[in-house]
Every structure is written in structure tokens, then in C-alpha cells.
Amino acid sequence: MNVVTIERKILEKNDEVARQNRALFEKSHVFTINLLSSPGSGKTSLLECVLEELKGRLNIAVIEGDVHTDLDAQRVARYGVPVVQIVTHGGCHLEAKLVQDALTHLPLQETQVLFIENVGNLVCPANYDLGEARKVVVISTTEGEDKPLKYPAMFRNSHILIINKIDLLPHLSLRLEDLKRNALDVNPSLRVFETSCVTNEGIREVCDWLLGQDSSKS
Ligand code: MG
Ligand code: ZN
């Protein structure tokens, strides 16, 4: 058995569990977001901004994926939302089975939106379906214009692109229009938001989009 065959079998197994997760989310009317980025793009900070903005308006739960530590889960828990930390012990992506196990610790029936913050990594998380309704990829303005071209699978598989740390633009040589064009060249249907967790710019727009996705419970 060659390596490619083994990898395909792992992905097929993952896809089967992801289907089970997706069925559970649909049955429980939970809109699930797989939040993806390289390390340090501001996924947890964005979550904090969204939790602050939507306090009392939307029942949100969070699954945190990290290689080590539960630091991000501790940050999120301060907002009083249910949160489960998955520690991968070196694993560089979340798999559907890890999410399935975490779900047993969350009050799905009362949850409207579930965020799954994936391990910071622009490579393999793109290939692992977790059962989410939407993949949201975050890139910060400090990462350069070329990332969509270097990591096309991540941008091709995502529905939403959030360009974060927009407040830093005056200090950077980044050409924002080039970054956007590169992302849209890879995936013309990407919806793009621009945000700052320092000035709160763009957070309202992201929250309005989220509120528009919520299907049922109130
Ligand atoms: Mg984080
Ligand atoms: Zn990986």
C-alpha cells in the first residue's frame, strides 16, 4: 500500500465522520463555522470581538483547537459561552472525530452558532471537513499579498475571507487590492470582510452576516 492510498483512506474515514457531524448540526439547527488561518492572524481576537458584539443576541458555543495549552479556551470562556478545548498534542489540524467527541460536552440544543477555531495552519486543515456549514479563512495584513497563491486550497475551499489587522495598513507596504485580487483569482465566490480587533472596524459587518445565517432558534 503506498502513501497516497493511506492518505486517501484517512480522508475518506474523516469525511464519513464529518457527514455525521453535519447531520447532527442540521438536526440541532446549529450553524457551524470552521475558523482557519496561520498562527497569529487573530482568530481568537476576532472571536472575542464577535462574542462581545453579539452578547445576549445569539447563543454561541466554541470549540478551540490547539497544539498545546488551553490559553485560547480560557480567553473565550471569559465571555460566558460554552467552550471545549481540543489539544492535539502536536497534531497540525483538527479532524472530524475530535470535533465529534468535543460535541458531547456542548449544549447543542441551545446553540445557534458554533465556532470551531482550528489549529493555526494554512496547509492541511483545508483538506479535513469537520462537518461545518462554512469555512472562514482569516489572513492578517502582516502576512503579505501572496498567501492565497501559495496556499490556494485553503482559499479555494473557504466561503469567507476575513482580512484582519486592517488598522496596521498605514505601517505596512502591503497592497490590499493585490491581496484581494489574488484571493478572488483563486476563488471568485469568496466573500471578503476587512476587520480590526483594535478599532473594531468591520466587526459589525461580520456579526450582521452571522445573524443573517442563523436559521431557526430564537
Ligand atoms: Mg487562537
Ligand atoms: Zn495537519
| Sequence letter at residue 205 | E
- Closest ligand relative to 127 C-alpha: 2
Cβ(163)–Cβ(191) below 8 Å: no
DSSP H/E element including 83: strand 83-87
211 Cα: distance to centroid of ligand 1 (angstroms): 23
Rounded to two decimals, the pTM is 0.95
64, burial (CB in 10 Å: exposed 0-12, middle 13-18, buried 19+): buried
If we measure between CA atoms, which residue out of 194, 190, 197 comes closest to residue 205? 194
Dist CA 210 CA 18 (whole Å): 22
Q: Give the chain's domain count.
A: 1
Q: Which domain holds residue 117?
A: 2-217
What's the distance, Cα to Cα, between the start and end of the chain in Å?
51
At 30-46, the pLDDT tens digits run: 999 999 999 999 999 99
| Ligand (nearest to CA of 70) | 1
User: Separation of 171 CA from ligand 2 center, angstroms?
Assistant: 33
For residue 49 the three cell numbers come to: 470581538
CA of 63 to the centre of ligand 2 (A): 17
Distance 146 CA to ligand 2 centre (A): 21
Q: What is the tens place of the pLDDT at every residue in 13-30?
A: 999 999 999 999 999 999
Cell numbers describing residue 9: 483512506
Could you tell me the distance, in angstroms and rounded to a whole number, from the CA of residue 65 to the centre of ligand 1? Answer: 8
